[in-house]
Amino acid sequence: MYMAIIEEVRFQIANEILKEGEKLPSIRNLAKTLEVSVITIKRAYKELEEAGYITTIPAKGSKVALGAKDRIKEEFLATIKEHVTIAYRLAQKLNISDAEFGMLHELIKAEHNG
């Protein structure tokens, strides 16, 4: 569960739902809202802090770290690039043309938008 919380916070930072410098919900309030243990939230916040996405000041709370959005977006883009590279290499091995590969992209986009 804590991994899902980490990913959600990362997505919210990347999409500027949580902005740099913005205070995060307290550990206790978030645990209550999500109906999870305080320990789960503490673990998620600790990992987010160790990764440099948030900063925590004891008794003051946690906030989004400066530069976090750019770092997270770069990480997501790197992951997307890895997946697209794997897909493209597979397409090449199957003799799928660049045009067909592009059509697959358009098909996937239409499925998700429509």
Residues 60 and 19 in one domain: yes
CATH code, 52: 1.10.10.10
Asked whether 41 and 9 are in contact (CB, 8 A), the reply is no
pLDDT at residue 114 is higher than 80: no
Residues 50 and 81 in one domain: no
In whole numbers, what is the pLDDT of the chain averaged over residues?
95
Query: How far apart are alpha carbons 58 and 105 in whole angstroms?
Result: 47
How far CA 29 is from CA of 24, 26, 41, 46, in Å, comes to 10, 5, 10, 16
Residues 62 and 73 in one domain: no
pLDDT tier for residue 6 given thresholds of 50, 70 and 90:
very high
For 52, left (φ over 0), alpha (ψ -120 to 50), or beta? left
pTM: 0.81
